[in-house]
């Protein structure tokens, strides 16, 4: 059972990374209109499956019930989703960020911004700021403008809310385990990735 879980997790990881790489042949290229639900599926494959299934496998090795194994899976899944959202948010929430190219047009804040704005309006926003003729020395300026546009919309606040939502679901899964130092340590990881300035 454990070998099957880890094998399937590695399969998910390879599939997720292959998809990410196939869509990133050009730096900061746009994916298709994936929306937040499709984004979550992709993040699960490339980031969350390995941790979620490893947590489940650990409970299987310790001979816990199927219910406890599922709670461990849920913790790993939602904690990993929170971590990915936290990572995607950093270029937008840091008080001092000099690296304007650090964010991806396919990060959670950008995907959520697109959902609120509409695909066509988002593409128009990009076209207005960045054309094929944009000289390399202006790229930083262009991405800074896009970053400010995303900050001005609802994408960033929605990504923060989504990060905290997944964090709360991870904590709810932990509540099914008896109090211990280990549980407290796992909860602290969640608190660390759901705290923003």
Angstrom CA distances, 156 to 13, 101, 142, stand at: 27, 17, 19
Give all domains of the chain, ordered by start, each with its CATH number.
1-194 (1.10.600.10)
Q: In degrees rounded to 5, what are phi and psi of residue 152?
A: -75, -20
Span 96-115, pLDDT tens digits: 655 555 678 888 999 999 88
Please tell me the pTM assigned to this model: 0.84
Give φ, ψ of 117 to 5 degrees.
-80, -35
CA angle 108, 160, 155 (to 5 degrees): 50
Say how far apart CA 80 and CA 88 lie, in whole Å. 12
Residues 79, 76, 28: CA angle, nearest 5 degrees: 55
- Report how far apart the first and last C-alpha atoms of the chain are (Å, whole number): 42
Question: In the predicted model, is pLDDT for residue 137 greater than 50?
Answer: no
């Amino acid at each position: 059972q454990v070998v099957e879980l880890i094998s399937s997790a590695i399969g998910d990881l390879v599939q997720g990374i292959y998809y990410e790489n196939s869509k990133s042949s050009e730096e900061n290229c746009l994916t298709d209109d994936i929306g937040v639900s499709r984004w979550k599926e992709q993040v699960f494959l490339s980031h969350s499956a390995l941790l979620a299934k490893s947590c489940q496998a650990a409970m299987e090795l310790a001979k816990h019930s199927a219910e406890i194994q599922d709670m461990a899976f849920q913790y790993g899944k939602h904690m990993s989703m929170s971590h990915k959202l936290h990572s995607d948010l950093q270029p937008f929430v840091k008080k001092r960020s000099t690296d304007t190219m650090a964010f991806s047009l396919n990060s959670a804040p950008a995907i959520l911004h697109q959902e609120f704005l509409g695909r066509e309006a988002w593409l128009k926003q990009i076209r207005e700021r960045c054309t094929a003729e944009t000289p390399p020395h202006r790229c930083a300026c262009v991405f800074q403008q896009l970053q400010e546009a995303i900050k001005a919309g609802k994408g960033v606040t929605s990504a923060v809310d989504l990060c905290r939502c997944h964090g709360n679901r991870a904590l709810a899964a932990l509540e099914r385990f008896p109090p211990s130092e280990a549980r407290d340590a796992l909860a602290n990881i969640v608190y660390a990735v759901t705290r923003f300035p």
